[in-house]
């Protein structure tokens, strides 16, 4: 039995700010769950992050207040935390006096989402995420699946198919194929676990019920059980891992930065040397991303 942890990166609406919408599934055999969870906790503890939820995008932002504090790098973790909190409290007072309610709300949101990481410098936070993806790369039994939807050139097979549903259907199909492929001696089952998110819960459950009954566009579903289970990412390391993988893939597509993407891609599902677990969904026949180039090469057009 394998557990597949799903999370997304980028805005699913076509009008949203990101160019790509990415859905990732990280598949792990249940007998490896305890050792993976323990390894993540050990890494977190070494950065004083044991109680923190790892949200990669928030972690890798630049925190201006840290640059405003003299001698920040030479302080202890607790001193850094207290110093940043002091600067942030002053900024909040300043916003209350001089800025709009909306600006204050946005500022408070940033502070709330980053407060668990303010004791680490930017390069330490970057190193933590790099250590995390390096760990994932080393887990040879993990299989990662990713669907990248190019929202700038999105022409789905059915006009009302949203990027979210399209990505979900394609990931489910790929997981089903993978489970079928490894089920030669004994049937392997998979269960999907998704980050709790009100906007996708109803549609993913409804779609999964439909796939169980009628199959996806490309495949019958015989190896994935249940509808997806939804868990809170605050308490679940593996959903945080899926978030990190989704971020790594989107950063490659939206910012042409492959530093985190390449270690993650090393765990993509493959048949022989061909990557079959990742796909870039775009109408651009000349896309120069490594997945599209490899696909053209396989078809003899590269
Ligand atoms: Zn591409």
Q: Residue 17 in 3-state DSSP?
A: coil
Distance from the CA of 231 to the center of ligand 1, in angstroms? 31
Contact call for residues 43 and 128 (beta carbons, < 8 A): yes
Distance from the CA of 165 to the center of ligand 1, in angstroms? 19
Distance from the CA of 275 to the center of ligand 1, in angstroms? 13
Distance from the CA of 195 to the center of ligand 1, in angstroms? 26
Distance from the CA of 124 to the center of ligand 1, in angstroms? 32
Distance from the CA of 163 to the center of ligand 1, in angstroms? 16
- Structure letter (DSSP) for residue 188: -
> Residue 266: its pLDDT value, please?
96
> Residue 2: its pLDDT value, please?
96
Distance from the CA of 288 to the center of ligand 1, in angstroms? 6
Structure tokens at 118: 């303010």
Distance from the CA of 130 to the center of ligand 1, in angstroms? 24
Distance from the CA of 113 to the center of ligand 1, in angstroms? 32
Distance from the CA of 290 to the center of ligand 1, in angstroms? 7
Cβ neighbours of 211 (radius 10 Å): 20
Distance from the CA of 284 to the center of ligand 1, in angstroms? 8
Cα angle 107-111-117, degrees, rounded to a multiple of 5? 155
Main-chain dihedrals φ then ψ at residue 58, nearest 5 degrees:
-70, -35
Distance from the CA of 127 to the center of ligand 1, in angstroms? 28
Cβ neighbours of 262 (radius 10 Å): 13
* Domains of the chain in sequence order: 2-45+131-298 (3.30.420), 64-117 (no CATH)
- Cβ neighbours of residue 113 closer than 8 Å, sequence gap 6 or more: 55, 58
Could you report the average pLDDT of every consecutive run of 10 residues in the chain (302 residues)? 94 81 96 97 97 95 94 97 97 95 96 97 98 97 96 81 90 94 89 84 84 85 86 88 97 95 96 93 92 90 51
For residues 172, 178, 184, 188, the Cα torsion angle rounded to the nearest 10 degrees is -50
Distance from the CA of 276 to the center of ligand 1, in angstroms? 14
The helix-helix angle for 33-46 and 237-255 (nearest 10°) equals 70
Distance from the CA of 203 to the center of ligand 1, in angstroms? 27
Distance from the CA of 280 to the center of ligand 1, in angstroms? 5
Query: Distance between CA 22 and CA 167 in Å, rounded?
Result: 8
Distance from the CA of 24 to the center of ligand 1, in angstroms? 16
> Residue 301: its pLDDT value, please?
54
């Amino acid at each position: 039995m394998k557990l597949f942890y799903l999370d997304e990166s980028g805005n699913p609406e076509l009008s949203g700010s990101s160019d790509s919408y990415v859905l990732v599934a990280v598949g792990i055999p249940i007998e490896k769950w305890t050792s993976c969870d323990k390894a993540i906790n050990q890494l977190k503890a070494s950065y004083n992050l044991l109680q923190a939820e790892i949200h990669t995008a928030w972690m890798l932002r630049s925190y201006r207040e840290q640059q405003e504090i003299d001698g920040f790098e030479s302080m202890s973790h607790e001193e850094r935390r207290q110093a940043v909190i002091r600067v942030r409290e002053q900024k909040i007072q300043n916003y209350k006096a001089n800025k709009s309610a909306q600006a204050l709300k946005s500022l408070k949101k940033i502070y709330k989402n980053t407060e668990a990481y303010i004791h680490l410098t930017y390069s330490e936070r970057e190193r933590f995420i790099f250590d995390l993806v390096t760990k994932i790369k080393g887990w040879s039994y993990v299989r990662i699946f990713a669907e990248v939807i190019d929202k700038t050139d999105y022409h789905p097979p059915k006009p009302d198919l949203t990027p979210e549903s399209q990505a979900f259907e394609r990931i489910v199909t790929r997981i089903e194929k993978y489970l079928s492929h490894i089920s030669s001696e004994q049937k392997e089952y998979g269960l999907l676990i998704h980050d709790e998110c009100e906007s996708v819960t109803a549609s993913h459950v409804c779609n999964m019920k439909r796939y169980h009954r009628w199959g996806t566009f490309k495949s019958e579903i015989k190896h994935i059980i249940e509808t997806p289970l939804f868990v809170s990412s605050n308490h679940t390391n593996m959903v945080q891992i899926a978030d990190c993988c989704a971020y790594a893939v989107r950063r490659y597509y939206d910012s042409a930065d492959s530093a985190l993407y390449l270690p993650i891609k090393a765990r993509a599902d493959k048949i022989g040397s061909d990557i079959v677990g990742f796909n870039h969904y775009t109408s651009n026949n000349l896309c120069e991303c490594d997945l599209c180039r490899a696909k053209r090469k396989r078809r003899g057009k590269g």
